[in-house]
Amino acid sequence: MKDQSASGGGSIQDSEPVKEKSEVLLSVEGLTVDFDTPFGKLRAVNGVDFEVEAGETLAILGESGSGKSVCVQAVMGIVESPPGHVDARHIRYKGSELRDLGENQMQKIRGAEIAMVFQEPHAALDPAFTVGQQIAEVLRVHTGCSRSDGRKRARELMERVGIPSASSRLDDYPHEFSGGMCQRVMIAMALCMNPKLLIADEPTTALDVTVQAQVLELLQDLKTEMGMGLILITHDVAVAAEVADRSLVMYAGKVVESGPTVEIFTNPAHPYALGLTDAIPHLDAQVERLIPIRGAPPDPRKIPDGCAFHPRCGRALERCSAEIPVLRQVTEIRQSACHYAEEMLSEN
Amino acid sequence: MKTNLPPDSSNQTPVLRVQDVAKEFRVRSGSILTRGDGVLHALAGVDFQVYESETLGIVGESGCGKSTLARIILRLEKATSGNVYFREENLMTVPPRRLLELRRHIQMVFQDPFASLDPRMTIAEIVAEPLRIHKGLVPKGQERERSLQLLERVGLRRQDGERHPHQFSGGQRQRIGIARALASEPELLVCDEPVSALDVSVQAQILNLLQELQDELGVSYVFIAHDLSVVRQISDRVAVMYMGKIVETGPSEEVYENPLHPYTQSLLSSVPPAPGRKRRFSGLNKLEGEVPSPINPPSGCRFRTRCWKASERCADEVPDLVDRGFLHPSACHFAEPLDPGSGVGDISLVSQP
C-alpha cells in the first residue's frame, strides 16, 4: 500500500488502449463462500477469480442467488461468520493480503481505501440523523476532524455528487430525500476518504430510469476524475454494457464467462450469456415471442451436477451433466466455462 | 406484431373505458415547505379505452399514478371524480352487489408473487378460490379439477396442486397468480408490474405466457410497468404517464418510434441500450432534476419544470391530450417528432411557436 500510490492519478485518463502499466488494485483468486443453514451447507460462491485495475470498471453480472453480492461482501470482510465461511487462495489489495489484517486494520481499509454503495439507499441511511451528520461522521471516524470541518467537507461532497442547494439540505433527514438523492448521499459518503476502489452493489436498481441515467453518469465521471477502480454489481446487461469495460457473468456461484462486456453479449461464448441476450425485450423492436431460458436458476442448496446450467441449456450433451466445465481462456480476451465454447464462437 | 391492430373506436365497444378520472388523497405533511394538510393529486383527468383482445401498456416512473389507476379500475379504490365503465356499466355507481358480480370479469395480477399468495393454502385451493366466490362457473364439486387444469395451462403440473406457495420459485408463483386471475374467466386482466420482481431469464417466460393466453382466450390486458422495453414487447397500444396524467398515447410502434412529447423522448433516451444496440435519441440531454411533489404540482404543464422546450405558455395553459397532427395524441404545446439518430439540436424544434 505504499509504493504504487504515486502512479495513480493522471496517466489513466488520457488513453484507453495503452493499459499495460495500470495498477492492479484488487486481486482475488479461488474465492469460495459457504453458509451454514438449517438445511445444510450452502455454497454461495464457488472458486471465483477476478482482478480490478485503477481506472477500470468491472461489472459482476448475475441473477438473484448467483453469488455476485456475496463475492464483494467477502472482499470487504463483511460476511458474517458464522454462518458464513470465506476461503480463498488470496484476496489482495495493492499486494497485501486482506485476510491477514485484523479487524482494526480492516476497518481502516473499508471506507478509506475501498468504499461501497448499496442498492437500497433509504435502508442504508440512519433515519434519526441528518444526512450532513452522517457524512461528517465518516470523516470524523477516519480522520478525527472537527465537527465544523466535517460539515464543510460534507457540503462540498454533496455539491460534487449533484445535490442541489447542498448547504441547506445538509440538515435534512433521509426521508426528505428521494431515492435518487439518497443514492447521491450514499455516493458522497463513499467518496469521503477518496477511496481507490468503489464497489457499487446494484446502485440503480431501485431507481427510475431517468434517475438511473443520472447516477450512472455520476459514477462514471467520478471514476474518471479520481482514477478509481469501480466494481459494479448488477443484474442488468444493459447497465453493465453502459459503464463496464469488462464483465464477469456469474451463474450458481461460479463465473461462467468473462471478457469485454459488449463482446460477451454480442458474441457469447457461453449458452447462459446467449440465453440472457435472447430473453431481453428490446426498446427498438417488438418480436413475436421472446426466447426465454427454460426453468429457473437453481436452488443454491441443490446445484446440478456437471455444468450447473445444463438442465436449462439448449445445447447440453451427456458430457455436460457429468463433467464440470472449468473456466478457461477461449480467445485472447475471453474466458468461458462451457465445454463447447469454441464451437459457439465459431458458429457466429 | 399481432394482426388485430388497435380497433377503431367507432365500430367496437370497449371492454374498459376510463373517463376523466381524478384521484386526490388528503395527506398530512410535516415538511417545511408543505406544512399542514395537503391534497396529493395522484391522478388528474385520465382518459383511455381498452378493447377486446388487446393490451394497453401503461408506463411511467414511480409516483406517476399508474398503480393508483390499477386500483381504481378494480374499484379497490374509489376515484375522486370521473367514470370507469366496464362494458356499459359504470363501476363508480353500480350497486355493491353488482360490483361483486362484475369483479368476476376484471381480475388482477400483482407485482410481488411472494406477498400475493396465502402461504397456508395449497396452490390448488388458491386457484379454486375465485370459483367458490363466483358460483356457477363450474358445476359444484368441479372446482378442484378446474383449478388443476388451470395450473397445467400456465405451465405447472397437476401434482403441484398439493404444494404450498413457498415451495415455488418467483416465476412459478407468478404463474400461480395468473392461473388464479384467470379462474373466473375474466374479460380484463390488470397486470401491475407482473414481471418486475423476476429475473430476466424468467421474465421472458411470463411475458410469453401472457401473450399466449391472450391469443387463446381473447382476454384484454392493462399492463402496467416501469420497464419501457417490457411494455413495448407486450403492448398493442401504450399510454405514457407523468404526474398523474397521460402525456402521450398511441399504438406502441408509433409512440416508440415517433415519440412526440419531450417526456417520452427523454424517457426513451434514458434507457441504457442493450449491448450492440444504439441508444435512442442519443443527442438528447439527460433529464435534469426529479419529479416535483404531487402535493403542489406545477401549473400548466406538469412536466415544464424539467422540460427544455418550456415557455411561458406552458406555465399558463394546461396542454390537452389531443391529436396535434402527428398520428397519435400528445399533451404538449410543442409536440414534435425527433430524428431518432440525434438531430435534437435542431433549432427549429425549440423555436416552433
- Mean of all residue pLDDT scores within chain A: 89
In a domain, B195, yes or no: yes
Q: Per the CB < 8 Å rule, is A279 touching B203?
A: yes
In a domain, B127, yes or no: no
Distance from CA of A289 to the nearest CA of B (A): 6
C-beta atoms surrounding B139 within 10 Å: 9
CA A316, CA A275: separation in Å to the nearest integer? Answer: 13
**Residue A286: partners with Cβ closer than 8 Å, 6 or more residues away:** B1, B232, B233, B252, B253
Tell whether B214 lies on the interface with A, counting CB pairs under 8 A: no
Of the candidates A292, A294, A295, A319, the residue with the CA atom closest to the CA atom of residue A307: A319
Q: Per the CB < 8 Å rule, is A217 touching B253?
A: no
Q: Per the CB < 8 Å rule, is A241 touching B266?
A: no
Q: Which residues of B51-73 are buried (b: 16+ CB within 10 A; e: fewer)?
A: bebbbbbbbbbebbbbbbbbbbb
CA A283, CA B255: separation in Å to the nearest integer? Answer: 11
**Among the residues of B235-340, which ranges form H helices?**
252-257, 262-270, 312-316
CB A258 within 8 A of CB A248: yes
Q: Per the CB < 8 Å rule, is B201 touching A292?
A: yes
Q: How confident is the model at residue B31, as a pLDDT?
A: 57
Tell whether B208 lies on the interface with A, counting CB pairs under 8 A: yes
**Band of residue A260 on the pLDDT scale cut at 50, 70, 90:** very high
Count how many Cα atoms sit within 13 Å of the Cα of residue A99 in the half-sphere of its side chain. Answer: 15
- Mean of all residue pLDDT scores within chain B: 88
Chain B, 304 to 323: residues with Cβ < 8 Å from chain A are none
Partners of A213 on chain B (C-beta within 8 Å) are: 270, 272, 286-287
| Order of strands across the sheet that contains A57-61 | A114-117, A197-201, A229-234, A57-61, A246-251, A254-260, A335-336, A328-329
SS3 category, B74 = coil
Q: Per the CB < 8 Å rule, is A209 touching B226?
A: yes
- Per the structure block, which three cell numbers stand in for A259? 471478457
SS3 category, B203 = helix
Look at strands A24-37 and A40-53 and give their pairing: antiparallel
- Per the structure block, which three cell numbers stand in for B64? 406517476
Q: How confident is the model at residue A141, as a pLDDT?
A: 86
Q: Per the CB < 8 Å rule, is B204 touching A63?
A: no
A23-244: CATH topology is: Rossmann fold (3.40.50)
pLDDT, tens digit (0-9, with 9 covering 90-100), for B101-114: 999 999 999 988 77
Percent of chain B with pLDDT strictly greater than 70: 91
CA B267, CA B251: separation in Å to the nearest integer? Answer: 17
Look at strands A197-201 and A229-234 and give their pairing: parallel
CB A245 within 8 A of CB A54: no
What DSSP assignment string belongs to A107-158?
A: HHHBTTTEEEE-S-HHHHS-TTS-HHHHHHHHHHHHH---HHHHHHHHHHHH
- First-to-last alpha carbon distance for chain A, in angstroms, is 44
CA A101, CA A99: separation in Å to the nearest integer? Answer: 5
**Band of residue A102 on the pLDDT scale cut at 50, 70, 90:** confident
- Over residues B108-125, mean pLDDT: 90
Q: How confident is the model at residue A14, as a pLDDT?
A: 43
Cis status of the peptide bond prior to A271, with omega within 30 of 0: no
Query: Domain of B245?
Result: 16-105+186-263
Distance from CA of B260 to the nearest CA of A (A): 16
Q: Count up the domains in chain B and report the number.
A: 1
Q: How confident is the model at residue B29, as a pLDDT?
A: 61
Distance from CA of B91 to the nearest CA of A (A): 32
In a domain, B286, yes or no: no
Q: How confident is the model at residue B86, as a pLDDT?
A: 95
Percent of chain B with pLDDT strictly greater than 90: 71
CA A75, CA A110: separation in Å to the nearest integer? Answer: 10
pTM of the model: 0.88
CB A243 within 8 A of CB A56: no
pLDDT above 70 for B137:
yes
pLDDT above 50 for A155:
yes
DSSP A322: H
Residue with grid cell 435534469, as numbered in its chain: B288
pLDDT, tens digit (0-9, with 9 covering 90-100), for B33-78: 555 678 888 999 999 999 999 999 999 988 899 989 999 999 999 9
Q: Per the CB < 8 Å rule, is B276 touching A212?
A: no
In a domain, B38, yes or no: yes
Nearest residue of B to residue A243, measured between CA atoms = B272
Q: Per the CB < 8 Å rule, is A296 touching B202?
A: yes
Q: How confident is the model at residue A10, as a pLDDT?
A: 39
Pick the more confident residue, A49 or A10.
A49
Q: Per the CB < 8 Å rule, is A217 touching B286?
A: yes
- Per the structure block, which three cell numbers stand in for B50? 381498452
| Order of strands across the sheet that contains B237-242 | B106-109, B188-192, B220-225, B55-59, B237-242, B245-251, B329-330, B322-323
Cis status of the peptide bond prior to A83, with omega within 30 of 0: yes
**Band of residue A103 on the pLDDT scale cut at 50, 70, 90:** confident
In a domain, B92, yes or no: yes
**Band of residue B343 on the pLDDT scale cut at 50, 70, 90:** very low
- Per the structure block, which three cell numbers stand in for B189? 386482466
CATH of the domain at B252: 3.40.50.300
Q: Where are the domains of chain A?
A: 23-244, 254-347
**Band of residue B348 on the pLDDT scale cut at 50, 70, 90:** very low
Tell whether B11 lies on the interface with A, counting CB pairs under 8 A: no
pLDDT above 50 for A19:
no
- Per the structure block, which three cell numbers stand in for A185? 448521499
Residues paired with A246 in a beta bridge: A58, A260
- Over residues B325-335, mean pLDDT: 93
Residue with grid cell 478525527, as numbered in its chain: A144
DSSP A20: T
What DSSP assignment string belongs to B5-62?
A: PPPPTTTS--SEEEEEEEEEEEEEE-SGGG-EEEEEEEEEEEEEEE-TT-EEEEE--T
- Per the structure block, which three cell numbers stand in for B242? 407523468
Partners of A238 on chain B (C-beta within 8 Å) are: 271-275
pLDDT, tens digit (0-9, with 9 covering 90-100), for A189-230: 999 989 999 999 999 888 888 888 988 999 999 999 999 999
Q: How confident is the model at residue B32, as a pLDDT?
A: 56
CB B107 within 8 A of CB B188: yes
Residue with grid cell 450452502, as numbered in its chain: A42
CA A23, CA A20: separation in Å to the nearest integer? Answer: 9
- First-to-last alpha carbon distance for chain B, in angstroms, is 37
Q: How confident is the model at residue A122, as a pLDDT?
A: 83
pLDDT above 80 for B133:
yes
Partners of B253 on chain A (C-beta within 8 Å) are: 286
Of the candidates B187, B184, B174, the residue with the CA atom closest to the CA atom of residue B111: B174
Of the candidates B95, B79, B92, the residue with the CA atom closest to the CA atom of residue B45: B79
Of the candidates A242, A249, A205, the residue with the CA atom closest to the CA atom of residue A62: A249
Length of chain A as a residue count: 348
Distance from CA of B8 to the nearest CA of A (A): 22
Q: How confident is the model at residue B292, as a pLDDT?
A: 86
Mutate to test the interface with B, among A205, A209, A212, A267 (most CBs of B within 10 A): A209
